[in-house]
Amino acid sequence: MNILIISRKSENERRHYQSRQMARLGLEYRFLDAFEASDLSLEACQEAANNWPSPTLRQDIACFTSHRMAWNAVVERNEKTIILEDDAVLSSDIAEVIRTIRDRDDDWNCVYDLEFVPLPHIMAKSPLWTDDHSGHRATRVFQNRLGLAGYVIGPRAAAKMLQDTKNYALVDAYFWHRSWITAFQIEPAPVVQLRFLEDSANKAPFLRASEDDTFRPKSKLGKHLMRLRLELVKARNLLRAGLRSEKRQIQMDVAKFALDRDNV
C-alpha cells in the first residue's frame, strides 16, 4: 500500500526521524512537501476564516491545504493510501494492519482511522471485523472530532473529499463528519502523535508553538449559522448511531511504540 508522509521541506529532523522509523519497520514511503503557512496572505487567511465558526490560524489553513494536496496525490496514483503527518509514531505491528486493509475489498467510501487520540469517540458496540492473526479490529465510528495524523483513504473517497473541501474547514473535524464516509477505527491503534506518548511532551522538534494572528469570521450571523450546521451534523451522526453505539476511549498498546531515542 502506498504511504504518503506530509512534511514541510525545512523539517529535517522530522524527516530524518520518519526515514529511520520506516526503515526499521520495512515500509516504503514518499514525502509530500507540505503547504507553507508563510505563503498565505492576510487576505487569504481572512477569506478562509470566513468559512469556519471557530478561530483560525495560518497553520490550520496550511494543514487543510496539505491534506488536499495528499488527496490529489491519491487520486493521481489511483490506489488506496496511508496518509501520515510527520509527527506520527507507528506501532511495531503496523505492517500486519496494512496487509489486512490492503487485501480487503471495501466499499469506495470506507476510510480507516489508524490514530490514537486521547478523546472519547462514539463507536459501534462491536467491530465489523477482527484479524485473527494480529488481533486488530475495525469498529464503526459515528463521531470523531480530532486527528488526521494517520488514516487510510482510497482514490474515489479522496476525489469526493476534494469536491467537498473547495472552501476552508478545520480539516480533521470536517473530514470525519462527512455524511457519505463510512469510517472505521483500527484498534489497538497503530499510530499516535509523539506528543501523546509518555515523557515526550516537551521534545522541541515535535512542537510548533504558534505566535500567529488568529483570524475569525467577519459575519456574526454567518458564524452562528455555521455553528448551527455543525451541530446538526453531530445530531445526525448521533441519530445514526442510535442504540448500536457507545462512547469510549480508543484502545492502544503503548508497548508496541518504540521511540527512536536518538532523534526525539
Task: Write out pLDDT tens, residues 79-95.
Answer: 999 999 999 999 999 99
Burial class of 141 by CB neighbour count within 10 A (0 to 12, 13 to 18, 19+): buried
> pLDDT averaged over the chain?
90
* Weakest-pLDDT range from 175-179, 202-206, 254-258: 202-206
Q: Which domains does the chain have, with CATH numbers?
A: 2-263 (3.90.550)
User: Amino acid identity, residue 110?
Assistant: C
pLDDT-based confidence at residue 52 (cuts at 50, 70, 90): very high
How far is C-alpha 97 from the geometric centre of its chain's CA atoms?
A: 17
| Degrees, nearest 5: CA angle 230-231-236 | 95
Give exposure, 194-223, as e/b (b: 16+ Cβ within 10 Å).
Answer: bebbeebeebeebeeeeeeeebebeeeeeb
Question: Which one, of 227, 177, 169, lies nearest residue 53 by Cα?
Answer: 227
Confidence check: pLDDT of 209 > 80? no
Which positions ≥6 away from 76 have C-beta within 8 Å?
none
| Degrees, nearest 5: CA angle 94-97-98 | 90
At residue 63, the pLDDT reads 97
Please compute, for residue 122, the number of CA atoms within 13 A of its CA located in the half-sphere on the CB side: 17
Q: Is the pTM of this model over 0.75?
A: yes
Which positions ≥6 away from 28 have C-beta within 8 Å?
3, 22
Q: What's the rounded Cα separation, in Å, for the pair 29 and 31?
A: 7
pLDDT tens digit sequence for 131-174: 998 899 999 999 887 889 999 999 999 999 999 999 999 999 89
| Cα end-to-end span (Å), the chain | 27
At residue 138, the pLDDT reads 98
